[in-house]
Structure formats: structure tokens, C-alpha cells
Amino acid sequence: MKEIYKAKGYSDEWIEKRVRGIAVRQELTKEWRNRGVEEDRGFAILTNEISKAAFGKTVDEYKEFKGLKKENLRDHMDDMEIILTMLGEATTTRLTRDRDSWEFIRLSKDAQDGGEVVGGDQAKY
């Protein structure tokens, strides 16, 4: 993974953040999967909850804002965006575990609350 990003010209510092972000995301999706979330649709809905609370935009709106079509949004984030995304996802994972959330509505609330740790009441980007 690191070699691919290196070949694309990303800095070592960015690569380290991106790889850590992938690990945080994997931990979150594993938690969701273990709690019965449908991978494609469910993950997308919950991810959008985090994104809306953190950045004031759904993933698709954020991609449009950055002028992306089919590219991976996270591969086009700067250091701060990656860090904030990791924080929102790590917080969501912790909230889900601490609250022992199972129903989708409760997982959605965890995702919103996790994103709000990053964004508060205002969109950052």
C-alpha cells in the first residue's frame, strides 16, 4: 500500500496518516459488521452521517466539492482532513462500544455524535 502511494508522489508523512486512517476505518467497519450492519448500504449511510456531522457534506457532496468523479475521496484529502476523518471514525467506534449500540438507529446516532466531535455545529470545509 505504501509503495503505491509513494509511486503516486505522496509524501511519507501523508502516507503514514493515510495508512493509519485505513486501519481506523477497518476497525470501525469491523465493529459495524459485527453489529449486523449491511456492508454496502449500511456502511454508506453511517459513513454519510459521520461526514455530514464532521464536514457539513455527505461523501458525494464532498467529492463534488473537491471536483472528483470516481476517484477515492480519502486519497484526495490533505493531512488535516485525514486526521479529522480518523478522529470522527475512531470516536464513532468508541461510542458504539461504550454504548453497546446494536439497532441501526442507535448506530446512526453514534455516527452523528462521532462526526460532531470533529465538526461541532459548523462545517469545516
Do residues 45 and 105 lie in contact, with contact meaning Cβ atoms separated by under 8 Å? no
Nearest to 106 by CA among 56, 57, 35: 35
Closest CA to 85 of 28, 41, 36: 28
**For residue 96, which of 22, 15, 13, 29 has the smallest C-alpha distance?**
29
pTM: 0.91
Sign of CA dihedral 32, 33, 36, 40: positive
Nearest to 51 by CA among 121, 119, 97, 106: 119
Interhelix angle 79-99/12-34, nearest 10 degrees: 20
> What are the pLDDT digits (tens) for 97-112?
999 999 999 999 999 9
Q: How does pLDDT run across 2-42, given as a tens digit for each residue?
A: 899 999 999 999 999 999 999 999 999 999 999 999 888 99
**Looking at residue 66, what DSSP letter applies?**
T
Residue 121 has pLDDT above 80, yes or no: no
* pLDDT range class, residue 59, cuts 50, 70, 90: very high
